[in-house]
Amino acid sequence: MTATDIQYRVQGGVPLNGDVTISGSKNAALPLIAGAVLCSGETVLENVPDLRDVRTLLDTLNFLGAETSFQNGTVRIRSHNMQNKPIPIEYVGKLRGSIVLLGPLLSRFGVVEMAYPGGCVLGKRPVEAHITALKCLGAQDMSTDQVLHMQGALKPGHIILPEFSVTATENAILAAALLPGETRIDLAACEPHVREIQKFVESMGAQVEEKGSHTLLVRGTPDLHCVTHRVPFDYLEAGALAIAALVTKGKVRLHDVDNEHLLSFIESMRKLGAVMKYDKNEKILFVDGELSSLNAISIKTNIFPGFPTDLQAPFGVALTQARGVSRVFERLFEGRMAYLYELEKMGAQVEILNSHEALIIGPTQLRGRTVASNDIRAGAAMVIAALCAEGETAITDVRYIERGYDRLEEKLTSLGAKIEKIEIPVLEEAKV
């Protein structure tokens, strides 16, 4: 039997020019959708990116009895008739982000059971931080090797997270928002999408107070009401498109950008030699790749407000175009360097020191090859590499990219890129 592989075919060497509006954030949209579980009524989310992951999570809510619609960037979730039941692997197995259902379902129904969430392979990414958080609120862990299962009537408590986990922090906030009383969360992540969840539950009727950078006090209420909320811009998409403009020596204006979400990234771009200008009033980030002259630098990913790990792979492409030896230090995930092997196929000079460190020697004229999308962010990096490469590049496994970027090929085409989306038949081996 045959299947299809969705690919991009990119003709490189064309400078990107023009204006593009950044879509809503996937990393904010997913926990906001999960947060709709907390109330009985209709939640409306605006500026939602049209991504595979978003639709997968909506399908999961439909399975649980919610009624959802998604049209023109607006998601409506009617949660009146939701019921709690075990969620099979066909829903959560392809989306790591479905873990954010754990806290809301447990807090509302007193029990949650699901197959272990899947998604991209970026190292171990264990669920212990989530389990730890919910056990601090009184949940019992009944999980097995096959099923994630927690139950118990939750009560406000003191959560000390074992790491600065974004999704565990989101789960803790969402669970605590429905509990009458005060819950303290220490070692809380403070990424922009975490702060968006704080705003969301506050608009529903809870209170969230920040006590320093990484401590939150959540005063919950069982009477949360459904609201209308706008998903903020995707700073990861903005960063990727800024790099694309830079390495193609183009001139691009990125609309609907809040530079406060990108401070470390913008500073690293300027150290690299990128010519950029931000208009605070218009929320436009202008990147002038034509006037930029790139020189090697070192970057270290870190928790927010440090350099985002999700922009490390795209930035690595920019380093191949910089003069000298650059160093990349990935602090968070041991699986994030695999894209460098794909860049080597295109002619990049790379020395991988270990699973967290690499040297990139430039500048190098990349050449078109067939390369793979190893994960969402690596896929974006391959697109950026293809845009500045000589000749044609075929990028396989584009489904990864479409899980994280809303209409990426359309936006790039609007800026002048020569990129085509095609389906290639793939012969599957017969099952014995």
| Confidence at residue 2, expressed as pLDDT on a 0 to 100 scale | 59
CA distance linking residue 406 with residue 421, whole number of Å: 14
**Nearest alpha-carbon partner for 346 in 303, 389, 406:** 389
For the entire predicted model, the pTM comes to 0.93
Residue 97 has pLDDT above 50, yes or no: yes
Residue 326, SS3 per DSSP = strand
Segments making up each domain of the chain, as ranges: 2-23+233-427, 26-230
| CATH number for domain 26-230, candidates 3.65.10.10, 3.40.50.720, 1.10.10.10, 1.10.260.30 | 3.65.10.10
Helix axes 235-247, 376-388, angle to 10 degrees: 20
CA distance linking residue 23 with residue 231, whole number of Å: 9
Summarised one tens digit per residue, pLDDT across range 48-81 is 999 989 999 999 999 999 999 999 999 999 999 9
Q: What is the mean pLDDT of residues 359-370?
A: 97
Residue 128, SS3 per DSSP = helix
User: Fold match between 2-23+233-427 and 26-230?
Assistant: yes
Identify the helix (H) or strand (E) that includes residue 79: none
CATH topology of domain 2-23+233-427: UDP-n-acetylglucosamine1-carboxyvinyl-transferase; Chain (3.65.10)
| Burial readout 182-220 (b: 16 or more C-beta within 10 A, e: otherwise) | ebbbebbbbbbbbbbbbebbbebbbebeeeeebebebbb
CA distance linking residue 264 with residue 4, whole number of Å: 39
Give 345's DSSP letter.
H
Q: Which residues contact 107 (CB under 8 A, 6 or more apart)?
A: 38, 154, 174, 175, 176, 177, 178, 179
Summarised one tens digit per residue, pLDDT across range 233-272 is 999 999 999 999 999 999 999 999 999 999 999 999 999 9
Give the active site residue among 39, 120, 226, 388.
120
In the residue annotation, 388 being an active-site residue is answered as no
